[in-house]
Chain A
Amino acid sequence: MELYARRKFANRLSAVGAVAATGIGLCALGLILATLLIQGVAGVNFDVFTRMTPPPGSAGGLLNAILGSAIMTLVGTLVATPIGILAGTFLAEFGRYSRIAAPTRFVVDILLSAPSIVIGLFVYEVMVISMGHFSAWAGALALGIIVIPVVVRTTEEMLRLVPDSLREAAVGLGAPRWKVVFLICYRAAQQGMVTGVLLAIARISGETAPLLFTALNNQFWSTDLNAPMANLPVVIFQFAMSPYNDWRQLAWTGALLITAFVLGLNVFARILSGLQTRQQRWK
C-alpha cells in the first residue's frame, strides 16, 4: 500500500511541477510582453515616425533608425536570398547525394545557431578594415550572412516535401531537369520558400550584435550605403543604457515596434506555411 501511495505522490508532484513550470515560463514571457506594451505604447506618437533621433535630453523620433533598419534588412535579404535558394535547390535537387551535400548541411546547421556577434567580427575583418570605415554595406552583408542558412534550410525542406511523382511526371513528358526544378518544383514549394524568407527577415530585423561593428550608428538622416547608418536595434541599445528619460522612452517604443514587426511576420509566415501543408494534404 505504501508503494502505491509513494507512486501516486510522485505522479502528483510531477504534474504540479510541470504545471508550475509552464505557469512560471509563460508568466515571465507574458510579463516581458506586457511591460513592453505598456511602456512602448506610451511613447507611440506622430513624432516617432517623422523626426530624427534626438541628442541627449531632448525630444525626437526614430525616423532615421527605422529607415536605416529597413534599408539594411532589404539589401541583406536581397543579396542573400538568391544564394540561399540556389544552395537549397542544389541540396534538394541537383546534388542531393553529392559529396559536398552532407558537409554543407552541417555548415548550415552550425551557421543557423552561430553567435551573431562573431559574424559581425567576420564582416569587420573582411569589409570594414579593407574599406577603412564602417558602412551600411557591411551591416547589410552581416545581416545577409545570417539570412543565408535560414533560407537554405527552408528551401531544401520545402523542395523535399514535393512528391517525387510530380518530378517523374514532368520528366516523363520530356522536360529537362532544370524545367522540372524551376517550373514544377518551385511552383509546388513556393509558399514554403516564401515562408523561409519571411522567417529570415524576422530573424535579422532584431539583430543587434552584428551591426555594432559594421553599420555602427548615425544620428542623422542618411541613405548613403557607403557610410555608417542608423538602425533601430543599435539605437535601442544606446538609448536604453542611457540615463535620459526621453531616450529611454524612445528605446521602449523602438523595442515595441521591432517586437510587433517580428511577431507579425512570424504569424504571417505561419499562416502561409499552414496554407501550404493543407494544400499538400488535399493532394
Chain B
Amino acid sequence: MKVRDIQAEFSLEVAAGSSGLDREIAGGDCGDLLSDVMANSRAGDLWLTIQSHQNIMAVAVLKDLAAIILVNGHRPDDITVAKAEQEGIPILLSPTSSYQLAGGLFRAGIMQKEE
C-alpha cells in the first residue's frame, strides 16, 4: 500500500512533500520522543507524532521513513514544510489521536512487521 492510498482512505490533508506520496508503506511507529523513534522505527514506516518542528525531518530522512502523520490537529511550521518539500517526504495531517489513527491503519492492513 502506498502513502497516497492511506492519505485518500483517511482523508488526510497533505501539508508538504507530495512528491513522496507514491512511496510504498512497510509499517508504522507512534512516538513523540525523537530518540525513541530513532531507535525503533524502520525504513518505510509511517510515523505518527504530535511533534511538528523542523527536527522531525532529520529523523525521517535518517530512518528513511515513508511519511510523517501529525495527529491531534498539529500543523508543521514553515521550516518543517520547506524541509519536507526538499526531501520529498510527505507530512500528512490528522485531526484524530495516534491511538485512533493507528487502529484504523491496522484495519487497513498496515501492520508493524515482526523482527
Specify whether A and B are partners.
no
Chain B contacts to A: CB under 8 angstroms? none
Chain A contacts to B: CB under 8 angstroms? none
